[in-house]
Amino acid sequence: MLWLLGVIVLGAFVVAGYYQYYALGPMRFETALGLSFANVFNFLGFQKSYFAADFTQKLPPLLKFLGGLQTILGVVLLFFLALGLRTRFRLR
């Protein structure tokens, strides 16, 4: 669970830092955190609900790659979390 949280927070720092460094426009850390959370839990549809389609299409290629990496890591880490919880609460 901490690794999953780490992927979300680290991704938010990268997105906010990228926008700050390249001066693409102001982005609050909360928005970057929301985008990172939406990338990790992409299968829940938060990205389409809370971010406009043109916002995600206009992202630089590096941030699109980061979003894809976060999605893959999110699925893998959620699988490991579910596997650990199943093992922890297994009935005998």
Write out pLDDT tens, residues 25-77: 777 888 889 889 998 988 887 777 777 778 778 888 888 899 899 999 999 99
Counting every residue, how long is the chain? 92
pTM recorded for the entire structure: 0.82
- The token duo for 26 is 């102001």
pLDDT of residue 11: 92
Encode pLDDT of 3-30 as tens digits: 999 999 999 999 888 888 876 777 788 8
The answer to whether 55 and 31 have CB atoms below 8 angstroms apart is no
